[in-house]
Amino acid sequence: MSAKCGHLFLGLKFAIGLTVHANFKISQYQNTPSPDLRCVKTLRLITRLIFFVVYTALIMAEIWIRNRFWGEDIHRSMRVRRRWARNLLQGVGLSVTTEGKAPDYPALIVSNHRSYVDPILMLRDVYGYPVAKAELAKWPIIGKGAKMAGILYLRRESAGSRSGTLRQMQEKIEAGFSVIIFPEGTTSALPSTLPFKKGAFKLAAQANIPVVPVAIVFADDRDFWVGKDSFLSHAKRRFGERKIDVKLCYGLEMRSEDPEVLLTKSQNWIDATLVENSG
């Protein structure tokens, strides 16, 4: 057993080390002529995609082995997931800066939605359950790994699924975890947010749950992942870049018995922060 874990941890270190080394070597050719630069971007893209798949698979294996031999422990799995999020984002070229303080207590975390890496950005900082569309469960590697480390799936077209998800959200918060939601319901490239769905704010008002707004600010609009763009097509365009700058802004908690107050104050704070950090 200890030998298996040792080999696994060596594999994790190798995957991280390989990517860091590859990114360093590639960065030495940043000022090369245009044709060579295209080759550099392609090499960087391939390296990062391999790292994404291999590192994520190794993390899944680590969680499975720990659960298999020491019993399931969601707190332990979330700690492993936090390490995965931090190393993964760095490995695929995201440079993340943080403003404000992430909640270290159970809260409803509400954020604007720019791309499919948004939940991972917050999972660097908090132990919690992101709410995601049910289709994510079918994604190779990610779907299975997310289930092992804690996620709530939502079928947006189903009223029964929405009410069931709200019950699960309350249960998780009462159990001591945060819940991460994107009340726009989809990604957007607009300067401000789309209309927020009210359901989660009703829950927060009724159960006196603190609401923490978060604004995700990408430096380049091309990093927005919107419409029917697939993972691979977006990755081809952006993950070959030297780095992707993103800022994560945490606001102060809000409480109210009125869901409209929570919704309006959260959305206004996020929109104001997006404008403040634009251009």
- pLDDT tops 60 at residue 14: no
Residue 242 and residue 93 in contact, taking contact as beta carbons nearer than 8 Å: yes
Residue 195 and residue 112 in contact, taking contact as beta carbons nearer than 8 Å: no
The mean predicted confidence, pLDDT, of the chain is 86
Q: What is the pTM of this model?
A: 0.85
Domain regions of the chain by residue span: 2-276
Q: Which residue would you say has higher pLDDT here, 132 or 260?
A: 260
pLDDT band, very low/low/confident/very high, at 190 (cuts 50, 70, 90):
very high
Report the b/e string of 172-207 with b at 16+ CB within 10 A.
Answer: bbeeebbbbbbbbeebbeeeebbebbebbbbbbbee
Q: Which residue would you say has higher pLDDT here, 115 or 31?
A: 115
Length of the chain, please? 279
Say how far apart CA 81 and CA 144 lie, in whole Å: 13
Q: For the segment 194-248, what is each residue's pLDDT rounded down to a tens digit?
A: 999 999 999 999 999 999 999 999 999 988 888 777 777 777 778 888 899 999 9
Non-local CB neighbours of 253 within 8 Å, separated by 6+ positions: 103, 107, 210, 211, 212
Q: For the segment 73-126, what is each residue's pLDDT rounded down to a tens digit?
A: 999 999 999 999 999 999 999 999 999 999 999 999 999 999 989 999 999 999
Q: For the segment 127-151, what is each residue's pLDDT rounded down to a tens digit?
A: 999 998 877 778 777 778 888 999 9
Non-local CB neighbours of 124 within 8 Å, separated by 6+ positions: 82, 85, 86, 89, 96
Tokens, residue 247: 């800022």
Residue 30 and residue 24 in contact, taking contact as beta carbons nearer than 8 Å: no
pLDDT band, very low/low/confident/very high, at 17 (cuts 50, 70, 90):
low
- pLDDT tops 60 at residue 27: no
Tokens, residue 204: 């927060």
Q: Phi, psi (5° rounding) for residue 154?
A: -130, 130
